[in-house]
A and B are shown apart, each in its own frame.
Chain A
Amino acid sequence: MMGPATLEVPMTQLPADLEYSCREEASLDAAETLDHFLASVERPAFRIAQMALRDRDDALDVVQDAMLHLARSYGHRPGAEWRPLFYRILYNGIRDKQRRRTVRSRLFGLLPGSRADENEPREDPLERVADGAPGPDRLLMADQAMQRLETAVAALPARQQEAFALRCLQGMDVAETATAMGCSEGSVKTHYFRALQSLRATLGEVY
């Protein structure tokens, strides 16, 4: 079994649209470099978290926590290592939120008067309490294509979601994705392939 990939990413493998370059990085201090990096990932990271959690505020929370955690624990590390580390922290936060939701949902399920129909899809009751009217998150999802994509991705198993979001939506290579997911490159390829197969089956007619 292959171990997690090395954190060192050659400069030639960095995506062209990355908003900072390693050459510029040398002349900037750590705070400026981190600022540039976070500015480049904050919005896609939020969208990815929102796709996984289906909630704007929860998504903002996990992105904020990931930023703080990165600054606190890995701010001294070379900038080239930040991206996989940041997404690893982000997905840990997402999984933590999902676990808490599951526990909360089970607790609410034990309360008298809760719905006992096992055939209905599980839903967090608190999600229904806060938003009576369509919130900004719903307005943002006005684009039907995005809504379909979100629904299809949300139906994937968690690891396939991660592989798809990092490989396809974030354009990470296999090594970076493996670091971010904390698994081998072979596992990344398997998860990603299965995710693509499922999404093709779901979105094939639309996309």
Chain B
Amino acid sequence: MSEHDVERPEAALERRTRKVFDASVEQLDAGTRARLRAARQAAIVELESRQRPARQGWVPLAVAASAALVAVLLWRAPAESPVPVASSGATQAIDALEVVAAGDDLDLVAEDLEFYVWLEHAELDGHGGGQG
């Protein structure tokens, strides 16, 4: 037997203790294994819950950015519209409706009816007396 065939005492101890330890790990009861499995599942859920906000964090951000973009476009759209707003009959009807709905003094409207007739004609003719 050569010198190399003789196992060092420390190496023998390591081998034996590892064997005993591995056997004890294999002999764990079902209850302990189940609790370890449950603990593992809880850790996986924890990891997934940590990753989810990071992945989904872009969704509300994108929605907010889109909403802001739409709001800006809508706000700027009337100013760039080629349709003359003041000359539209539909717009005037809506304006009248707004006056009624806003509860303005209807007596004043009746008294100055001639004024409003003049105003309408002046706007149609392009004289612009109404805005000033």
Residues of A within 8 A of B (CB): 30-31, 34-35, 38-39, 42-44, 46-47, 56, 60, 63-64, 67-68, 70-72, 75, 136, 139-141, 143, 145-146, 149, 168-169, 171, 196, 199-200, 203-204, 207
Q: Which of A44, A71, A168 has the most CB of B within 10 A?
A: A71
How many angstroms from the CA of A46 to the CA of B27 in the assembled complex?
12
- Beyond the given A43-B33, A168-B17, could you list 9 further A-B residue pairs with CB under 8 A, ordered by the A residue number? A38-B44, A43-B28, A47-B24, A64-B39, A71-B44, A140-B27, A146-B20, A204-B13, A207-B17
B29-47 CB mask vs A (1 if < 8 Å, else 0) is 1011101110110111011
- Chain A residues with CB below 8 A from B32, complex form: 46, 56, 60, 136, 140
Number of A-B contacts (CB under 8 A): 108
Q: Give the residues from 54 to 103 in chain B that come closer than 8 angstroms, CB to CB, to chain A.
A: none
Q: List 13 A-B contacts (CB under 8 A).
A: A30-B47, A38-B40, A43-B25, A63-B36, A64-B35, A67-B43, A68-B39, A71-B43, A75-B50, A140-B28, A143-B27, A146-B20, A203-B17
Q: Which of B12, B23, B47 has the most CB of A within 10 A?
A: B47
How many angstroms from the CA of A186 to the CA of B31 in the assembled complex?
40
Residues of B within 8 A of A (CB): 9-10, 12-14, 16-18, 20-21, 23-25, 27-29, 31-33, 35-37, 39-40, 42-44, 46-48, 50-51
- Chain A residues with CB below 8 A from B13, complex form: 196, 199-200, 203-204, 207
Which of B12, B16, B36, B44 touches A34 (beta carbons < 8 Å)? B44
- Chain B residues with CB below 8 A from A72, complex form: 46-47, 50
- Whether B51 and A30, one on each chain, are in contact in the complex, defined by CB atoms closer than 8 angstroms, is yes
- Chain A residues with CB below 8 A from B18, complex form: 168-169, 171
- Chain B residues with CB below 8 A from A168, complex form: 14, 17-18
Do A68 and B43 contact each other (CB < 8 Å), given the known contacts A136-B29, A200-B10? yes
- Chain A residues with CB below 8 A from B48, complex form: 31
How many angstroms from the CA of A43 to the CA of B46 in the assembled complex?
20
How many angstroms from the CA of A174 to the CA of B13 in the assembled complex?
18
SS of A interface (majority): helix
How many angstroms from the CA of A63 to the CA of B43 in the assembled complex?
11
- Whether A42 and B20, one on each chain, are in contact in the complex, defined by CB atoms closer than 8 angstroms, is no
- Whether A143 and B23, one on each chain, are in contact in the complex, defined by CB atoms closer than 8 angstroms, is yes
Nearest CB in chain A: distance from B100 CB, A: 64
- Chain B residues with CB below 8 A from A75, complex form: 46-47, 50-51
- Chain B residues with CB below 8 A from A136, complex form: 29, 31-32
- Whether B40 and A146, one on each chain, are in contact in the complex, defined by CB atoms closer than 8 angstroms, is no
Do A39 and B31 contact each other (CB < 8 Å), given the known contacts A47-B21, A196-B13? no
Chain B residue at minimum C-beta to C-beta distance from A67: B43
Which of A34, A140, A199 touches B47 (beta carbons < 8 Å)? A34
How many angstroms from the CA of A64 to the CA of B20 in the assembled complex?
24
Which of B27, B40, B47 touches A42 (beta carbons < 8 Å)? B40
- Chain B residues with CB below 8 A from A31, complex form: 44, 47-48, 51
- Chain B residues with CB below 8 A from A140, complex form: 24, 27-29, 32
